[in-house]
Amino acid sequence: MTEAIRGEGATLHNAAGERFVEELAPRDEVSRAIQDLLSETGERSVGLDMRSIDPAHFPNVVAALRAAGLDPTRELIPVAPAAHYMMGGIVTDLDARSSVPGLYAVGESSCTGLHGANRLASNSLSECFVFARRAVAHALAHPPAPQAPATAAELAALAELPAPATTDRATREELWRDGGILRTPEGLNRLLDSSHPLTRLIARCALLRTESRGAHLRADFPSATPLSTTTTRCSAARTRLPGKPGAEDPLHSRARTARRAKCSHAAREQTPIGVPIIKKSRACL
């Protein structure tokens, strides 16, 4: 369900039919309010009342709901928070260039500085369009210098690389439980034992980020630290972590690349395009 429906005036209700949250609050606050209620009651969903919304404004949503046997013009729709967007970690400039020559990053993998700590509704697709266009324009204008083709030995070395790890249901569940809306030190430490390397890396970086600024909440660090005084880099991901003495991760070399990526989490407001993106930096992956 798109939150644009709440923007149109749909309201959220508990089992008694009462509203329990300001629907237009930042998305992390709304998610947390729902999650708190669900934890308290053991229910699996709350009700979204969109009966006052013109179905013609959301034809795809309405069609999907009807296909699922729900009539949004007559009944409340059961909803629960879900992972929806990844604010990525590859820092780029305004031409989508990463720090690796010839490598461009667009979309959720990138950290353009366009989004604040809570991505605002419907910015991500626009970001994809805008930055993809800029990336292509830049790449066409700056073709790479011709290179000798890869040698047989280089190709053989590539073939030896392990296949990217795949995710299974257990990985998704553990990440949602311990790296989702509410993060605790115990949960994040548990994730350090995940079988998936990216989950371990997310946990390592999350443990280093001792504040909350949006998207998710660190139970032990609920406030945001002032941007002007905090700069964390992913290089610290190589430090030893509590409970994991000497633990090394195969992703460290990639983390080393990533640590050069300074990520602008410019509070809740959007950062306007044109503002230097590496002004106030903070690690993120």
> Is 271 near ligand FAD (CB under 6 A)?
no
> Is 197 near ligand FAD (CB under 6 A)?
no
- 75: its two tokens: 């009944």
> Is 176 near ligand FAD (CB under 6 A)?
no
Task: Please count the other Cβ atoms lying within 10 Å of the Cβ belonging to residue 204.
Answer: 25
> Is 133 near ligand FAD (CB under 6 A)?
no
Q: How far is the CB of 127 from ligand FAD (least distance, A)?
A: 8
Instruction: Lay out the site mask for ligand FAD across 102-121 (x = CB under 6 A, - = otherwise).
Output: -----xxx------------
Catalytic residue among 6, 19, 27, 32: 27
**What is the 8-class DSSP label of residue 8?**
T
Instruction: Please answer whether residues 53 and 4 qualify as being in contact, where contact means their C-beta atoms are separated by less than 8 angstroms.
Output: no
Count of positions on this chain that bind ligand FAD (CB under 6 A)? 12
Q: Which lies closer to ligand FAD via its Cβ, residue 10 or residue 188?
A: 10
> Is 128 near ligand FAD (CB under 6 A)?
yes
> Is 84 near ligand FAD (CB under 6 A)?
yes
Tell me how far apart the alpha carbons of residues 170 and 33 are, in angstroms, rounded to a whole number.
25
Tell me how far apart the alpha carbons of residues 119 and 2 are, in angstroms, rounded to a whole number.
13
Q: Which lies closer to ligand FAD via its Cβ, residue 36 or residue 108?
A: 108
> Is 167 near ligand FAD (CB under 6 A)?
no
Say whether 27 is catalytic: yes
DSSP per-residue string spanning 72-132:
TTTSPEEE----------EE--TT-B-SSTT-B--GGGEE-S-S-SSPPTTHHHHHHHHHH
* Residue burial 35-58, b: 16+ Cβ < 10 Å; e: rest: bebbeeeeeeebbbbbeebebeeb
> Is 124 near ligand FAD (CB under 6 A)?
yes
- If we measure between CA atoms, which residue out of 81, 79, 86, 75 comes closest to residue 115? 86
Q: Which lies closer to ligand FAD via its Cβ, residue 15 or residue 121?
A: 121
Residues in contact with ligand FAD by CB under 6 A are 2, 84-85, 107-109, 122-125, 128, 164
